Structure 1
Amino acid sequence: MYLLIAGVLLLLMKYLEFGVVAEWSWWVVLAPFALAVVWWAWADATGYTKRKAMEKMDQKKQDRIDKQRESLGIKTKRRSR
């Protein structure tokens, strides 16, 4: 996401001929978009994206369980890792 934001900002600055970016090559300005594509390809190929999504869902599930137990007055057991 950060690469896309940087790419859009650099693209806008290049288009509006703002500051030093106006003198930069188009290759440098468009490089963050290529890096974002590489990042997404790596994240999908290694399972990083799915793993992070599953961790987030598991945490939400555990938070719901803890909240329900707390409302019932049951003490939650903390697992040590």
Structure 2
Amino acid sequence: MWLLVVGLLAIALKYFEVGLFAGLAWWIVLLPFPAAMLWWAFADWSGYTARRAMERDDARRQDRVDRQRDALGLGTRRGSARRKP
């Protein structure tokens, strides 16, 4: 995502001819966009994207379970000792 932000910023700086970007060729200014496409292709190919999504889902699920346990007065398992009745 940050490559897209860099690319958009570079386009704006080139268009308004600010500083160093005024003298750069357009193909250099547009390089962050193919780099972002390559990163996304690699992330999908390597399973990085799916792993991150699964980790996020697992964290949400665990938070929901912890909230429900607290609401029932059972406490949470994560990091805390179980309460004795």
TM-score by length of 2: 0.86
Q: Percent identity?
A: 51
Distance 1:31 1:67 in 2: 46
Displacement after TM superposition at 1:75 (Å):
1.9
Greater C-alpha radius of gyration: 2
SS at match of 2:74: coil
SS at match of 1:57: helix
TM-score by length of 1: 0.90
Instruction: List gaps (5 residues or longer) in structure 1.
Output: none
Counterpart position of 1:46: 46
> With CA pairs under 8 Å and 6+ residues apart, which has the higher RCO, 1 or 2?
1
Distance 2:4 2:76 in 1: 42
Counterpart position of 1:27: 27
Greater helix share, structure number = 1
Displacement after TM superposition at 1:10 (Å):
0.2
The worse-fitting range, judged by mean Cα deviation, of 17-26 and 38-47 is 17-26
Runs of 4+ in 1 over 6 A off after TM superposition: none
Displacement after TM superposition at 1:72 (Å):
0.7
Q: Deviations over 1:8-41 (max 9, x none)?
A: 0101111121221011122221111111011000
